[in-house]
């Protein structure tokens, strides 16, 4: 079966130095005077879910129109935030992506970032062109629906039916694990975000690595 490899972005491929979070915080500070995002869960969430929660926190009905408006404001600030924060591509990522070329696997994204935000981040770090398709936070605040869309998009890009493919999610949070399992994917969790290996094992991840530096270990898991 063709392998569909669905990579998360933040904490899995890159560490943006807080650029995305700070861009969101700036939008809500400017628009509504919200001081920080301490009342909003961030890790493993979709952008649209984060915006909806932040709007509710300031007493604004999180309608699709309101979320879209805040999304646009966030995207206008994100490029400058990326330039002014100390971010990086995580160790082992480029080497793994190089090794996957020609493997027959379909390499794509499954991320809570809205599509344009994902593109801005990955273009900034020189990774956008490495992925053929994906599922993004625009689809739904529900990460499971994002992953389901990613499976469909990658299967289409690979010219196969979703039911005949083997999806594998690569992420760094328990939400990646639960959403991956909900769509029938196995999950490789990496402890390069805010969760350590013990927490990722406890979340039910099928495989856990400290990071992606051991290219062969990652390939053995991803390609079976």
At residue 100, the pLDDT reads 98
Quote the strand ranges of 146-185, DSSP E: 165-171
pLDDT score of 115 more than 90: yes
pLDDT for 111 equals 97
At residue 19, the pLDDT reads: 94
Q: How confident is the model at residue 23 (pLDDT cuts 50, 70, 90)?
A: very high
pLDDT class for 38, splitting at 50, 70, 90?
A: confident
| Residue 37 or residue 168, greater confidence | 168
Residues β-bridged to residue 188 = 170, 207
> What pLDDT is attached to residue 43?
80
The confidence score (pLDDT) of residue 60 equals: 92
pLDDT, one tens digit per residue, over 179-194 is 999 999 999 999 999 9
> Is residue 35 pLDDT above 90, yes or no?
no
Average pLDDT for residues 196-202, to the nearest whole number? 98
**pLDDT band at residue 216, thresholds of 50, 70 and 90?**
very high
Q: 151 pLDDT exceeds 90? A: yes
- 52-66, 68-82, 152-166: least confident range: 52-66
33 Rama class: left (phi>0) / alpha (psi -120 to 50) / beta: left
Spatial CB neighbours of 57, under 8 Å, sequence gap ≥ 6: 34, 39, 40
Q: Is the pLDDT of residue 39 over 80?
A: no
Backbone angles phi, psi at 32, to 5 degrees: -130, 0
Confidence of residue 170 (pLDDT cuts 50, 70, 90): very high
Tell me the pLDDT tens digit for each residue of 116-142.
Answer: 999 999 999 999 999 999 999 999 999
pLDDT in the model for residue 69: 94
Mean pLDDT of 205-221: 98
Query: CB neighbours of 194 closer than 8 A, spacing ≥ 6?
Result: 11, 43, 172, 173
């Amino acid at each position: 079966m063709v392998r569909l490899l669905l990579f998360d972005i933040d904490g899995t491929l890159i560490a943006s130095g807080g650029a995305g979070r700070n861009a969101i915080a700036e939008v809500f500070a400017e628009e509504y005077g919200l001081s920080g995002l301490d009342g909003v869960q961030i890790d493993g969430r979709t952008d649209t879910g984060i915006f909806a929660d932040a709007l509710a926190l300031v007493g604004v009905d999180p309608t699709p129109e309101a979320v879209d408006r805040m999304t646009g404001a966030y995207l206008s600030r994100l490029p400058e935030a990326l330039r002014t924060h100390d971010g990086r591509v995580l160790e082992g990522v480029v080497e793994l992506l190089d090794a996957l070329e020609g493997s027959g696997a379909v390499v794509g994204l499954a991320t809570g970032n809205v599509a344009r935000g994902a593109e801005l981040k990955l273009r900034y770090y020189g990774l956008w062109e490495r992925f053929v398709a994906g599922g993004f936070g625009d689809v739904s605040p529900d990460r499971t629906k994002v992953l389901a869309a990613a499976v469909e998009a990658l299967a289409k890009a690979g010219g196969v039916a979703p039911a005949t493919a083997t999806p594998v999610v690569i992420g760094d949070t328990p939400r990646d694990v639960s959403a991956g399992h909900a769509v029938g994917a196995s999950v490789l969790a990496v402890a390069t975000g805010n969760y350590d290996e013990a927490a990722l094992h406890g979340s039910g991840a099928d495989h856990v690595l400290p990071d992606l530096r051991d290219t062969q270990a990652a390939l053995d898991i991803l390609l079976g």
